[in-house]
Amino acid sequence: MSIDDALAACSDLWAQHALDASIESGVRSDPVDRTFSYPVPDPLTVCVMSDGMAAVIPGASDVCGRLGLAERAK
């Protein structure tokens, strides 16, 4: 999956309310209501984990450094 695909997929999960920042794991376990579009955090930033995988994190571009992750190459 490309980084752009990861960003689009993550945005879609937020819109479906499959992700929830108020839950410790961030992932909802109850059924997702696909008839309603929930707000997507803005901005979402793509960071790179130590294994090279993309991590899409809510926050501005400085969020990667604060979490000890690399920022994606532009």
Q: What is the full DSSP assignment across 22-67? A: TSTTSB--SPP-TTSPPPPPS-EEEEE-TTS-EEEEES-TTHHHHT
Sign of CA dihedral 38, 43, 49, 54: positive
Per-residue model confidence as pLDDT tens digits over 53-66: 889 999 998 999 99
pLDDT in tens, 24-53: 888 888 877 777 788 999 999 999 999 988
pTM of the complete model: 0.76
